Amino acid sequence: MKHNRSSLAYQARYALTHPHKVLPHLRRLTRDTWLRLRNPDHVSYYRAVMKSDAACSPEGAVGSHTHRRWLALGRMQFDYLKKHGLKPDFTMLEIGCGNLRAGRLFIDYLDTGNYYGLDISPDILFAAQETVVANGLREKLPHLTPVRDLRFAFLPNGHFDVVHAHSVFSHSPLHVIEECFAHVSRVMKPDGWFDFTFDRAEGKEHHVLREDFYYRTETLVALADRYSLDATFMDDWEQLRHKQSKIRITRRS
């Protein structure tokens, strides 16, 4: 992302070229201001955003405006991890699993009980349960758990082969990402890996409405290093033409 979407100049230019988006943006601005006043900490605020969005459409709430896109975005995540060596006997933790856009494919592929999905939004987890039923995945016994933070305090040491977070840190201030980095290696197997996507800023780091956050790659790599984690920018993900970039974290031996 070369542009700073929070700057007035960018927003004025955007409004002139996309006049039909002005009214929806103003509505969102009003709603978000109200939700922020009622929820001073980020996680409570974003949980309230998800509640409001999921009430309109769970698929829209996770960022897919058509069912076709919802299916395609889930497939893209699944195919990528499978190409990178995901196996049915792996244990997987999905942070911010939403309504299982990709999770339904992971649950289906992994052995029974090996999928753990976490989310800060109970409302989107209700929708996730509906996805389990609609896709005939009850027998796979997925774990779907609401969380208040990313400390993973209730999960065992060294348990997960793969940790996955798609389009979660693109909605997270740096202190939330830091909390995750500070704790994630404890729950990963020594040779496990943690993939996450982020909205990449090429210029100034910024956020829009405290809903969308843009980071430079170097910021996230340096943050990982502070917790003795190695971070690799995934070039092959860029070829998929998704608008976010991907970093892989591994434990430093």
Residues engaged in binding ligand SAM (CB under 6 A): 43, 46, 50, 62-63, 95-98, 101-102, 118-121, 124, 147, 150, 166-168, 171-172, 176
The answer to whether the beta carbons of residues 221 and 230 sit under 8 Å apart is no
- Least distance to ligand SAM, CB of residue 91, Å: 18
- Identify which of residues 44 and 219 has a Cβ nearer to ligand SAM in the complex: 44
- Identify which of residues 7 and 81 has a Cβ nearer to ligand SAM in the complex: 81
Compute the distance between CA of residue 152 and CA of residue 210 in angstroms, rounded to an integer: 24
- Least distance to ligand SAM, CB of residue 125, Å: 8
The percent helix, strand, coil of the chain (3-state, each to 5) is: 45, 20, 30
Compute the distance between CA of residue 114 and CA of residue 143 in angstroms, rounded to an integer: 8
- Identify which of residues 7 and 126 has a Cβ nearer to ligand SAM in the complex: 126
- Least distance to ligand SAM, CB of residue 143, Å: 14
- Identify which of residues 166 and 251 has a Cβ nearer to ligand SAM in the complex: 166
Compute the distance between CA of residue 10 and CA of residue 3 in angstroms, rounded to an integer: 7
**Contacts with 51 (C-beta within 8 Å, 6 or more apart), sequence order:** 121, 123
- Identify which of residues 110 and 118 has a Cβ nearer to ligand SAM in the complex: 118
- Least distance to ligand SAM, CB of residue 185, Å: 17
**Which DSSP helix (H) or strand (E) runs through 206?**
strand 206-208
* 12 Rama class: left (phi>0) / alpha (psi -120 to 50) / beta: alpha
- Least distance to ligand SAM, CB of residue 37, Å: 20
- Least distance to ligand SAM, CB of residue 77, Å: 6
**Contacts with 7 (C-beta within 8 Å, 6 or more apart), sequence order:** 206
- Identify which of residues 13 and 148 has a Cβ nearer to ligand SAM in the complex: 148
